[in-house]
Amino acid sequence: MSSTLVFVYGTLKRGLSNHRWLRGQTFVGEARTVAGYRMFDLGGYPGMVLAEGEDGGAIEGEVWAVDAEGLRGLDKLEGVAEGEYAFETVRLEGKWGEEVKGYLYLRSVKGCPEVKGSWAE
């Protein structure tokens, strides 16, 4: 069975509130995006967006190998069908290349506080 490498940066990380959604999946390693992303507190969970211009930084997270069933669950959690997040390629530092995907927030972050670096609950 094939799997997809997924970068998680918020409540899905080990030890946090939604980590159970990754039960049965394989932890691959810790990772960090290249500069060019921003993360916002959306009220108990984060949203990562592509930065405009020179405003972006690097976001810390984890890479998981997720099977098709796991991806269906994550898409549901992240509201992909409702247009809350999009599952897209995420550029990471180091060895990862273009193989890793992640959930980018699609709605307005106006008025939401920015979180630098790493999400913690």
**Which of the residues are catalytic?**
78
- State the pLDDT at residue 96: 82
CATH code of the region 4-110: 3.10.490.10
Say if residue 98's pLDDT is above 80. Answer: no
Domain edges within the chain:
4-110
Q: Nearest to residue 5, comparing CAs of 92, 79, 105?
A: 92
Count CA within 13 A, CB hemisphere, residue 116.
Answer: 2
Q: pTM to 2 decimals? A: 0.95
- Mean of per-residue pLDDT scores for the chain: 95
Label residue 55 by pLDDT band (50, 70, 90).
Answer: confident
